[in-house]
Structure 1
């Protein structure tokens, strides 16, 4: 019987919260994990917590708002012969000001993280997936950016997540069916962003992300998911 190929996953914003939970879940499934963080020492601290549980990950500095940081990370991995098969775009911010109070700089920064960050990582890592004939991209989004709900999330956040959803569809249309690009709403999760009152743990929020990252269902790209179910864009 053929042995399943070894996969490598890269997760952005992975030193805490949902990103760290995704690292934990994928590493527990035997995936080689690249835990990335804007702050390298914090990334190493997060990796140490996984090591305490017997899980080994590679730590890389990656700031999705810096094009040079993304390309440098991709170059380091390529130099070491590491191909990224699974990309989880998790890095995010949560500005909450109402629309008429949002400074232009905040709007720019929010789009830079959520939209341009995913744009940069997809351009860096997805071509390799196409070349190798297999890949999974999971964009951590929100129903706060769902057009069917008139983007009800906080203004800058909702606009940025709506843009990320559009990027998801565009990238999925640009790749063959062997590479699947999907978006996930993890729900209201107890993280620094979600707050202590949120009903879901980080592990619960990460579940659908991990499920899509490991999906073996052919042609299942271009979807928006919550709790492992398709939801409207």
Structure 2
């Protein structure tokens, strides 16, 4: 299979990419800049390609989409990249604008996987001021809403979200007490598995099992409001 992963120089994205390469897939990864791309190629020499660009910059995101499209159609794309404890503007750009743009601009794959977080449950989400009033928890509710919207609009694509748990990555920190391997294996499973459940759509998983999520994610009006706002902010029509 042919698989692309964003935010894959470190952490869960890197580990998922490494496992998928070991499993024999054609894996394409993403690095924020050329220096990180060189290091990534050294760490994973079997990677088929590395898209380079900063997800906080809209023009870079559009460039990443062009790079990925030049490689042809993919079987699976994992929207893994994310930032934590940064400004609302950066949280917006990386955690929701970038996956929205890449979802829209990259040729549709057979499977789409979005990395959410259990922190989305009960989160505050101010859609009217999305670009200036968004915290990490709210961004993950937005990602889950986006997943649900994509699953609704593109029923032929297996589109799902994953809660990786609180795992000891650079983002999670050393106090994290969840299982690191389980933190990326749901993404790997959804990308490569022939299991019937992995071919379903619109689900939210934790460690390869269906998990409870904030029921606001099923609100189609809220899904549409989010996407309308993203269209307005990016000037890129959803589709």
Q: TM-score range by the shorter chain?
A: 0.7 to 0.9
Q: List aligned pairs for 1:1-233, cutoff 5 A.
A: 7-51=1-45, 55-79=46-70, 81-95=71-85, 106-125=87-106, 127-129=107-109, 135-146=110-121, 150-151=122-123, 156-177=135-156, 179-200=157-178, 202-216=180-194, 217=196, 219-233=199-213
Q: Which runs of 5+ in 1 are unaligned?
A: 1-6, 97-105, 130-134
* 1:35 CA drift (Å): 1.0
TM-score, normalised on structure 1? Answer: 0.79
TM-score, normalised on structure 2? Answer: 0.77
Q: Write the distance in 1 (CA, Å) between the matches of 2:92 and 2:68.
A: 26
Q: Which runs of 5+ in 2 are unaligned?
A: 125-133, 214-239
RMSD: 2.0
Contact map agreement 1:40 1:60 (CA 8 A) in 2: no
Q: What's the secondary structure of 2:176's corresponding residue?
A: coil
Q: Write the distance in 2 (CA, Å) between the matches of 1:63 and 1:45.
A: 16
